[in-house]
Structure 1
Amino acid sequence: MERTHQESKEEELIETNSSTTAATSTENNYDKDEYYKSKGLSAYDDLEKKFQEFQNAFRRMNEAFGQKLLEQFGIANPDIKYTHEPQVITAKDAAKHMIGKKNILILTGAGLSAASGIPTFRGDNGFWTRTYGDETDPQVILTQRFFTQNPELNWQWHYDFIELEDRCKPNKGHHAILKFQEYCHLQNDIESFLVTQNIDNYHPQLIQQSKILMKNQEEKKQGESNYAFTPFVYEIHGNVKYMHCFNDEEDCGQQFYKAPTLDQVKDKTNHVPKCSSCGKNMKPHCMFFDESYSETYYRSESVHKFMEEKMDCLIVVGTALATGLAKRIVNKALGKIECPVIEINLETSIDRGYNLQILEKSEIALDQLFNEYYRLRSPKVDILQSGQVKSQARASSVVNQSKNPIQKQIIVQNNTKQMTQAKQTNLKQASTSTGKAVQQKPAVSKAVTSSNKQKIIPKR
């Protein structure tokens, strides 16, 4: 069949377009290959890079959207730009993130006591490096199995630690935390919750000496020597100063006693204390590596309850987070919205989330952090009357001269109480004066009425 002239033209046009398209496609592929080659990338690398850029942009968009929502409902602080990535920050700047938080959990580790002279367990010169008998591995020595077979060597480790703890004393970091606890105790809108992995007894020792925290007899009773739990601190790994019967199936296994020092043990050849009830070996009140957390010995359920239901700010001090419950506390905080995790460590142990890293010694950083927090929260006391200006100025002078934030708080509260009483007295006096005026008013009205009656001329 003979083709028409029009059909021939159309076929030529199609062939030309096909050739052009193929040439263009080849040219484009060549250009892309040259582009990737010039950038030192493969096509896969370029795609991966673009996907990463998309993920970052999408994350920033979600963060901005979430921030706007929180600000809209009055939850977020508009002065602070929240991030889901860790950032190195100063202690003073970190204090801003504590403002508005109501339930602050403090988690301390061995790094806090390093300034006291107690070596960290896992450092080069740490307590883990000592040898007991033929055994050098502390994760073997400090186990229930080893304790059952070699109670003397296990107790020797604890005697050495008790001796070391007695030679040292709490440092500025411990005292800074105590002052913060006392400060929170005097407030109506803040609760502090101290959790420690340390077994050195330094937190309980300071708390039991605090006149502010130990203010009633019931709490003082809990701090006596035969009771292992001191209020206002949760020792999730125990306390080397106490012991209990190893027979945890009997009631005697839940009774705590003061642990002796080696000098107090009469029989040096057999220095393992015995239970007075059942005669079995006493166990140091310290958590072994093959032991589980429990409320009975380590108050783990109380810690879980606070971190689940209340915690809205976490301060982590001097810990490598190598133990289970400490990790769970941090992970729980990182999973909460608007819960800052302020980490004070020479080397950070947290690499994600709303983590504010203060890379400073704890005895320095804690003072800076809490002092800035006190300054940001310092109450402003109004002057009620001009006659009280001088007394208020004197009170302010006393407050400013006091370096202790707890003393400042007590002074301010006393001044506020005095001025409140003065205000109530003034209001009472004003009310009394007003009452007298009201009582006199009817008499005046009556007199006026009587006078008016006298002026009225009776009708005839």
Structure 2
Amino acid sequence: MVNPALQPAIHALRQARRVLVITGAGLSADSGLPTYRGIGGLYNGNTADGVPIEQALSGPMLRQNPALCWRYLAELGRACLGAHPNAAHFAIARWQQARDGVWVLTQNIDGYHRAAGSPPERLIEIHGQLSPLFCQSCGAESPELAAHLHRPLPPRCSHCEGVLRPPVVLFEERLPEAAIHALYEELAIGYDAVVTLGTTASFAYIAEPVLRAQARGGFTLDINPMPASLGFGVDCQLAMSALDAIPEIVSHILFD
């Protein structure tokens, strides 16, 4: 039996040919990872070193004080390696595998969409991911993130002793050109529906796809336990976690 609250979303998404699913930290919170903002957020207040987390996890800090920056990169790394994709990640991947018009734009760096089976060619990791590490001096790659987290920080290159870093976008760094190009190439084609999961859409490039879909008469859906988290209206707002909503929605889209 269908949850009545989900029926409008199921009906609209079943009709949509092209769908963009935008995911934020709230999706991976159901895997046990900390969210970035809000109650218990990773980015609330100062770090134990007395600097805001945005400063600790910044490009300039990685250059000036790599040991301090890596102290907090390592926290993220341990959290991501210590958890796994949840049922919502797997449901989204099944949806993408069944419908070639479904794309994912994620702000998350945990790699869980890939691990769950989302097709890489329709997955835009706008903030990068935590591995493989690469050397800032010689460019050599190191896939041993877990091993490096048990060694003295910052991790060093085995070839030249340069400082390693993950391919993530730190604060005060530019977004990856390939990801931005892919996003705007697909936005130019347009989406019939845009779904936001566990995000406040505080970045313009996350809010823009929703606003573009609305402008062309597309369906917009926000799923977030905190109501009205986006700061602008959508066609349907579900005050639920992604884990409570997405597996059921996808199941009815694909199998009813």
TM bracket, shorter-chain basis: 0.7 to 0.9
TM-score by length of 1: 0.50
Q: Give 1:147's aligned residue.
A: 62
Cα 1:313/1:294, change in 2 over 3 Å: same
Q: Deviations over 1:46-90 (max 9, x none)?
A: xxxxxxxxxxxxxxxxxxxxxxxxxxxxxxxxxxxxxxxxxxx82
Name the CA distance, whole Å, in 1 between partners of 2:232 and 2:155: 45
- Aligned mate of 1:244, from 120, 134, 142: 134
Is the counterpart of residue 303 in structure 1 residue 183 in structure 2?
Answer: yes
Indicate the RMSD between aligned Cα atoms, in angstroms.
2.5
AA at the equivalent of 2:191: M
Structure 2: give runs of 5+ residues left out of the alignment.
none
Q: Which has the higher helix share?
A: 1
Name the CA distance, whole Å, in 1 between partners of 2:184 and 2:57: 25
Name the CA distance, whole Å, in 2 between partners of 1:316 and 1:264: 32
Q: Is the CA contact (8 Å cut-off) linking 1:194 and 1:232 kept in structure 2? A: yes
Q: Deviations over 1:82-121 (max 9, x none)?
A: xxxxxxx822221111233211111000001111111101
Cα 1:139/1:271, change in 2 over 3 Å: closer
Q: Give 1:343's aligned residue.
A: 222
State the 1:372 CA deviation: 2.3
Q: Give 1:271's aligned residue.
A: 154
Q: Is the CA contact (8 Å cut-off) linking 1:240 and 1:259 kept in structure 2? A: no
State the 1:232 CA deviation: 3.4
After superposition, residues 24-39 of structure 1 pair within 5 angstroms as none
Q: Which has the larger radius of gyration?
A: 1
State the 1:136 CA deviation: 3.7
Name the CA distance, whole Å, in 2 between partners of 1:207 and 1:256: 24
After superposition, residues 280-429 of structure 1 pair within 5 angstroms as 280-296=162-178, 299-335=179-215, 337-346=216-225, 347-352=227-232, 354-375=234-255, 378=256
Q: Which has the higher contact order (CA 8 A, sep 6+)?
A: 2
Cα 1:366/1:192, change in 2 over 3 Å: same
- Identity of counterpart residues, as a percentage? 23
Is the counterpart of residue 201 in structure 1 residue 111 in structure 2?
Answer: yes
Q: Is the CA contact (8 Å cut-off) linking 2:190 and 2:213 kept in structure 1? A: no
- Equivalent residue pairs, number: 252
Q: Give 1:99's aligned residue.
A: 14
Structure 1: give runs of 5+ residues left out of the alignment.
1-88, 185-189, 214-229, 379-460
Q: Deviations over 1:334-361 (max 9, x none)?
A: 22x2211111111233354552111111
Cα 1:258/1:328, change in 2 over 3 Å: farther
Cα 1:142/1:171, change in 2 over 3 Å: same
Counterpart of 1:332 in 2: which secondary structure? helix
